[in-house]
Structures are given as structure tokens and as C-alpha cells.
Structure 1
Amino acid sequence: MAASGGVGALIGGEKAAVAQKKESIPPYVRAMSGSLGGIVEACCLQPIDVIKTRLQLDRTGAYRGIFDCGRKVVQTEGVRALWKGLTPFATHLTLKYALRMGTNALLQSAFKDSTGELSSRDRIMAGFGAGVVEALVIVTPFEARPSPDDKHLWTFVLRDLAAFLLGFGCGIAIPANVVKIRLQQQRGLSPELLKYKGPIHCARTIIREEGIFGLWAGALPTVIRNGTNQAAMFTAKNAFDVVLWKKREGDGKVLQPWQSMISGFLAGTCGPICTGPFDVVKTRLMAQSRSGGEVKYRGMFHAIRTINAEEGLLALWKGLLPRLMRIPPGQAIMWAVADQITGFYERSYLQNAPL
């Protein structure tokens, strides 16, 4: 009797441990929520991105600040000029957020322990990894293999498929950003005087004049900037959700949009300050044409030294204010959309979500 009782207790303990394991939102749901949030963000905040790019490319002091820059753009080129590069920007954000959210979910799943818990260190590493993958062309599926006794094999198939599709999409992110910056730096109203007539024409011209690798200019600073940004953003967003709203993944609690916006806004403030130099260098490298032979900046470190020597140390943080005006509000908008989608999934499909 005692033996059977001990076996029963052991089995009961194993069942309890399995029951306590937290369910996770699948990566494809995270990816979809990020894509939809990116579309809304792009339409709302494109003018700020145009102004940021113009300020970062200004070497002569033509603009006295963000408002002066915006006013001059409207006066000389019309209001529609504030939405220059919207198509590649929206494409870029849609793919970027899908990749970022999906990859972060994949890495978090890989780093979680047997009870579904994720340490602070692993959360930071998952965010950094998502940022790095976001910035590069990755077409290899994430290797997540189930244990022999795992009954939910379909979740691993979906994870591999999501990783492959998201990684393939990342191959468009950096080229789309290069095209966006080339279009944004053009000044003038007459289309016939502009070198690039549109996104497709711009990409074709770059490939013809600079080669296919011209579309991946500035990849290294983009990788460093994105990795640091996302490590800070995902960690901070989770911390603010827990501290401010007592919200944890899988608890079934759906944040109100205004709550998501506050958490997202606060989480989006740290990255721009830390990664300002990498963003300026990325923009300069992406903007310079290699069709003329000799280029001003030969790489990331050469660009940092040159900008510091010619324009001063603070020039490495050019465009910081418009970045702070764009990124935190952008994160607020994106998370307001994404949290509603993932919150609905938690309430509808996760076993431990309350009715």
C-alpha cells in the first residue's frame, strides 16, 4: 500500500509539474502582431523619419533643428515630401517587426527552463539575438527539435516554418532601408531632375551602378544598433508590464491599449541614446553612392573617426531628438496593436488563461 501510495504521489507530482509549465504564444502569432503594428506605425510617423534622415545627412548646417527642417521641406518640396520613402519604410517596418517579434519568441522558447520560466539574462540575450537576426539575411530555419516524449510536434513544425519565412524576409530589411534613405536625401520638386524615380527604380540603379552589395551598405552598424536596441526594448517592455500592470505572459490578462502604449513608449526611450553613433554611421554609409569610385567613408570605424574629426563628437548623435520623437511613439503604437492580438490569443487558446 505504501509503495502504491508513493508511486501515486510521484505521478501526481509529475502531473502537477507539467500543469505548472507555462504556455507560450507561438512565434507566428507574435510575428503577425508585429507586422500589423508596423504598418500603423509607418503611416503615422513617416514625416519624423524623413526629418531625422535629412538632419543626419546635413553637413553644412542648412537646418537649425527639427521644426526648421520640417518647415523647409514643406516649403520647397510640398507636404507630400514628408512621406517620401513610405513604401519601402512600411515594407521595412512590416518585415522588421515580424522578424523581431517572431525571432524573439523563438529564442525565448529555446532559453526557457522546464517550468517555462525565463531568466533576465536569457531575456536580454533573446532580445539581442532578435536584433542581430533582424539586421542580417538569415535563411536557415531555427533548429528547435522536440524531445521524444513531446506530444505537440506541430508547434515545432510551425516554429521552423516561421523562422524560415521570417529569416527570408530579413533579406529585404537592409536593402529597403538603403532605398528609403536614398529617396529621402533627394531634394527638389521636379521628378525629371531626381536621380531615383521611385523605390524599384532606386534599387535597380544601385545594383547597376554599385553592384548587388550596394543594397547592404551599413550592415555592421545596423547589426550592432539593432542588437543593442532590441535587448533593451524587450527586457524593458517586460519589466514595465510586470511593474506597472502586473501583466505576465500566459496569465490571460489583456492590457488596455493605453497601458501598452505607456509600457512601449518607456521601453523605446533607452535604445536611441545608447545607439546614436551607430545610427548616424549607418545612415551615412547607406546614403553614400559607390558609383563614382572613391567613397568618403570606408567602413563603420573609419566613419566614426571621420565624423568626430570633421564635425565633432556630438555629431555622432545627430538626429537624436527626432529619433526620440519617432521611436518611443512608434513603439507605443506598435505595442498597442501587438498586445491586443497576443492578448486575444492568450484568452482564446492558452489553457491557463481565465475564462
Structure 2
Amino acid sequence: MAATYKTQTQTQTQTQTQQAAVAPTGVSLYARFALAGAISCGTTHGSLTPVDVVKTRMQLDSVTYNKGMMGSFKQVIRNEGAGALLTGFGPTFIGYFLQGAFKFGGYEFWKKTIIDQIGEERAIENRIGVYMVASGIAEFIADIALCPLEATRIRLVSQPTFAKGLVSGFNRIRAEEGVARGFYSGFTPIVFKQVPYTVAKFVVFERASESIMKKLGGDHDSLSERTLTGVHLTSGLIAGFAAAVISQPADTLLSKINKTSGEGPVMARLAGLAKELGFRGLFLGLGPRIVMVGALTSLQFGIYGELRRVFGAGEGVVIMKKAD
């Protein structure tokens, strides 16, 4: 029998009656999605700062850091001390806190907006397109907030003597290079990295979740909270692996272009860097990044799902498969 689909906004409380009575709507609802996304992204990216430091060093100085992830960890500790592994923690946490708010909150908002514009039937038939457009728009907006802090993070990691921390590094870049060149010279590569990454992340997550729940014989309404957490973690891990590979070349270029101030048009500099690195060079640091992004994405979706329930926001706008 043909499969059907339904689009719904779910909130999970003790009973459906209570749910209908207290479920948040409008700005209150999307603010909860945004806060849950901000916390999940800020804490996960912040906790993986040591892995990101090593990954960035491998990308920027592959001659020195050429002994793999574990070997490079040991090199950083031996040469600079264990504290170097936390370089850039401040801009990482704050930058991805802001990005997570716009990304997750925006994803839910744009999904609902698209469904309202095209109607449920068309959304059902084209749910992958809905996921792609909603996540792409949300990430583009999120990157505007993230870019200055990501530029500061990379400068601190690549040039340990550049500044003592977030505030001094941020102010030095602004004073010496200005807002556009200092903070947004990497905007094009960060969009090229983050938008495909986020689109792959949400599309793969949604499809993996749907497949797993189908195998379990349930959906968001019928599965227990513990089971849903497992679904979120597993789907997030799969999504993270896919997103890491897709976005790796742009991630390498982003690290390279933010290492120094540079001169000339951004696109010309990117083309030059890509030619200089070659195909193999664009995938420098892929190993540690797969580890980092896989773990990070899994934890993000796990934390995000839990916080949505804690905040009373439920599962958000869900396009899910149902059997007739």
C-alpha cells in the first residue's frame, strides 16, 4: 500500500491534554529552539577545542604536524604545553553559541515558513527540498554572526603570540585590519564550508532518523524518550561523518585564508590557495575532522533533542513517514 506522510509540530509533555494547554507558540517557541541550539553548539564545539586546535595546526603546517592526530597532539603538548590545546576556546564557544541559535532556531522557523507558503501536500512530496532550503537559509544567516569569531579563533590558533585571548585578539584584528577585511575576508569560504555542511547534516539526519524509526516500528509520538535520544545520537553521528567529508575542502581553505591578513580579492586568493594545495592538500586534517565532526554532530542532536523537551518545545516541525 502506498506510503503517506504528515507534517506536524509536536510537543511532548506528560499528557496530550497538558501538551495542548501549555505548548509554546510563535516567538516563544522559536526562542526555545534557538536557546537549545545555542547551548548544544556552544558546548560541543567548546569541548572539542583541543581536537580543532590539532586539526588547524595540521592544515596550516603539514610539514611540522605530519604524524597523524595522536602524534600531533603530543607535538603540541611537547612544544607549547597542554594549555595550548585550549587556544581559541573563547571565540569558539561564543561564536558557535550564536551560530547554533541562528542555525537550529532558524531551521525550525524556515521549515515552518516554507510549509506555510507551499502547502503541506507539496512539502510532503518535496520534504528533502524543504530540509535543504530551510537549513541553507538558516546557516547563511548564522555565518554572518559566526564569521568574526571564527576569524579570531583561527588567528589565535595559527599565531599563538598574536593575542592573549578573545577580547584582545578581536580588538587587534578590528583595529589593524577593519571589520570587512579582518573579520569577513573568510566569509566566502565559511559559507562554502558551512552551508553544504549544514545542508548535508540536516538532510542526512532527517533521513537517517526516519529510516531508524521505521526499523523500530514507531515514530516521534510512540517511541520513548530514551529511544528517541538514541535515534538522535545515532542519526547525528551518521550525519556528522557525511557533513565532514563534504565540507572538508572549504574548511582547509578557511583555515589558510584566515592565517594571515592577505591582499587582493577573496575569490582570487581562494583560487590561488586551492591550486597551491591541490586535491590532496584540500583534505589535510580530514581524519581528526571526521572524529571531531562525527562526535560533535551526534552530541549536538542528542543535547538539542533533550533540551527541546526540557524547554517544552517538543520535536519541532516534523515531516515523517507513516504507513497507511
TM-score, scaled to structure 2: 0.79
For residues 254-291 of structure 1, the C-alpha deviation after alignment (integer angstroms, 9 at most, x for no partner) is: 3443332111111111122122211111111111134x
For residues 69-107 of structure 1, the C-alpha deviation after alignment (integer angstroms, 9 at most, x for no partner) is: 110111121112111111110111111111110111111
The reply on whether 1:241 has 2:209 as its aligned counterpart is yes
Q: Which has the higher contact order (CA 8 A, sep 6+)?
A: 2
Aligned residue for 1:23, secondary structure, equals strand
Question: Match for 1:23: what amino acid?
Answer: T
Aligned residue number for residue 120 of structure 1:
128
Aligned residue number for residue 199 of structure 1:
166
Separation (CA, whole Å) in 2 of partners of 1:347 and 1:279: 33
How far 1:332 sits from its partner (Å)? 1.2
Aligned residue number for residue 254 of structure 2:
282
Please list, as runs of the form range in 1=range in 2, the aligned pairs for 1:302-317 lying within 5 A after superposition: 302-308=272-278, 313-317=279-283
The reply on whether 1:175 has 2:148 as its aligned counterpart is yes
Distance 1:337 1:296, change over 3 A: closer
Aligned residue number for residue 288 of structure 2:
322
How far 1:182 sits from its partner (Å)? 0.9
Cα pair 1:253 1:343 within 8 Å, conserved: no
Unaligned runs of 5+ in 2: 1-5, 12-28, 318-324
Separation (CA, whole Å) in 2 of partners of 1:318 and 1:332: 23
Please list, as runs of the form range in 1=range in 2, the aligned pairs for 1:129-278 lying within 5 A after superposition: 129-136=137-144, 170=145, 173-187=146-160, 194-213=161-180, 214-246=182-214, 254=225, 255-278=227-250
Separation (CA, whole Å) in 1 of partners of 2:102 and 2:288: 24
Aligned residue number for residue 341 of structure 1:
307
Identity of aligned residues (%): 19
Separation (CA, whole Å) in 1 of partners of 2:265 and 2:9: 52
Question: Match for 2:193: what amino acid?
Answer: R
Aligned residue number for residue 22 of structure 1:
8
Distance 1:81 1:297, change over 3 A: farther
Structure showing the higher strand proportion among its residues: 2
Separation (CA, whole Å) in 1 of partners of 2:222 and 2:192: 33
Unaligned runs of 5+ in 1: 1-19, 137-169, 188-193, 351-355
Aligned residue number for residue 161 of structure 1:
none
Separation (CA, whole Å) in 1 of partners of 2:266 and 2:221: 51
Aligned residue number for residue 23 of structure 2:
none
Separation (CA, whole Å) in 1 of partners of 2:264 and 2:270: 16
CA RMSD in angstroms comes to 2.8
Aligned residue number for residue 101 of structure 1:
104
Distance 1:251 1:131, change over 3 A: farther
Separation (CA, whole Å) in 2 of partners of 1:349 and 1:336: 14
For residues 23-57 of structure 1, the C-alpha deviation after alignment (integer angstroms, 9 at most, x for no partner) is: 36732222111112123313431110110110110
Separation (CA, whole Å) in 2 of partners of 1:58 and 1:68: 14
Distance 1:185 1:347, change over 3 A: closer
TM-score, scaled to structure 1: 0.72
Aligned residue for 1:318, secondary structure, equals coil
Distance 1:121 1:195, change over 3 A: closer
